[in-house]
């Protein structure tokens, strides 16, 4: 597989073309951002760990009937993926009150929701990724009703699958963000699934094991990512956790 020109560089990844027009190479960076890139920094080896975690979770979802863009992990920081026309709707699934939901609903962080919530956000950095609904999606022409029905169905199924996966590893899946795209007429799960895109709390201690440690200056960021990588990938790490 020949890596060619850079197509796009985002906050956490660089996308390269390949000699196959249907495939791209996704490079995972150590850069970290929060609050719509108002806070910037770096988390050592984050790209390596997120690449490994995403590989395991994409394979797990594929095995359970969720189509994804994943093809194979090429190296510590590179993943070969199917090229997607990204749907500009970020989907957030929530199981426990945290982050912006606590502020919007006036509820205490950590409260278990009686049922999962699925939310939609307009993927536009300049606007701060505002929360939107189906009427907005139709007016903006972001996706068809049929595409959104499929995306929502996948999001709910993914939530159920990942909750079970993390529960077995003594981790609460609090909430997480998903991105989808079109590939040869099919809706596929894209982007990554990792502590950058998920809120993950240790079930025993309640300790945060995700990017909130960076957002809130809590320290032990690398240690938290390493612990998630160890539990998800079954790899030992010499970094102590909590």
DSSP 97-141: --HHHHHHHT--TTPEEEEEEEEEEE--GGGT--EE-HHHHHHHT
The single-letter DSSP state of residue 201 is E
Q: What is the pLDDT of residue 36?
A: 75
CA-closest candidate to residue 195, choices 216, 180, 174, 219: 174
Whether the pLDDT of residue 238 is over 50: the answer is no
Spatial contact of 192 and 54, defined as CB atoms under 8 Å apart: yes
Query: Do residues 99 and 67 share a domain?
Result: no
Least confident range from 34-38, 77-81, 135-139: namely: 34-38
Long-range pairs for 31-36 at CB < 8 Å and ≥24 separation? 32/196, 32/211, 32/214, 32/221, 34/211, 34/214, 34/215, 35/215, 36/125, 36/128, 36/129
Query: Do residues 96 and 211 share a domain?
Result: yes
- Tell me what the pLDDT averaged over the chain comes to: 95
The more confidently predicted of residues 113 and 125 is 113
Q: What is the pLDDT of residue 237?
A: 43
Q: Give how many domains the chain has, as a whole number.
A: 2
pLDDT tens, position by position, 194-227: 999 999 999 999 999 999 999 999 999 999 999 9
Query: Do residues 125 and 63 share a domain?
Result: no
Give the pLDDT band (50/70/90) at residue 35: confident
Query: Do residues 111 and 161 share a domain?
Result: yes
CATH number for 70? 3.30.200.20
Whether the pLDDT of residue 46 is over 90: the answer is yes
Whether the pLDDT of residue 235 is over 90: the answer is no
Structural domain harbouring 150 = 85-233
């Amino acid at each position: 597989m020949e890596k060619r020109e850079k197509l796009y560089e985002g906050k956490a990844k660089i996308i390269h073309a390949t000699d196959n027009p249907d495939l791209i190479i996704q490079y995972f960076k150590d850069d970290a951002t929060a609050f719509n890139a108002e806070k910037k920094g770096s988390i050592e080896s984050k790209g390596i760990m997120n690449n490994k975690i995403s590989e395991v979770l994409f394979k797990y979802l594929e095995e359970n009937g969720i189509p994804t863009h994943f093809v194979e992990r090429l190296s510590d920081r590179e993943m070969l993926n199917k090229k997607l026309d990204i749907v500009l709707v970020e989907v957030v699934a929530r199981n426990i009150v945290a982050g912006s939901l606590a502020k919007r609903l006036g509820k205490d962080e950590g409260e278990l929701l009686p049922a999962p919530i699925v939310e939609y956000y307009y993927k536009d950095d300049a606007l701060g990724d505002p929360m939107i609904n189906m009427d907005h999606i139709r007016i903006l022409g972001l996706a068809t009703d049929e595409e959104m029905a499929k995306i929502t169905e996948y999001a709910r199924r993914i939530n159920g699958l990942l909750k079970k996966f993390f529960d077995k590893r003594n981790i609460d899946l609090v909430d997480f963000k998903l991105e989808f795209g079109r590939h040869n007429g099919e809706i596929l799960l894209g982007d990554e699934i990792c502590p950058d895109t998920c809120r993950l709390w240790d079930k025993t201690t309640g300790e945060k094991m995700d990017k909130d440690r960076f957002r809130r200056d809590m320290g032990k960021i690398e240690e938290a990512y390493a612990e998630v990588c160890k539990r998800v990938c079954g790899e030992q790490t010499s970094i102590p956790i909590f």
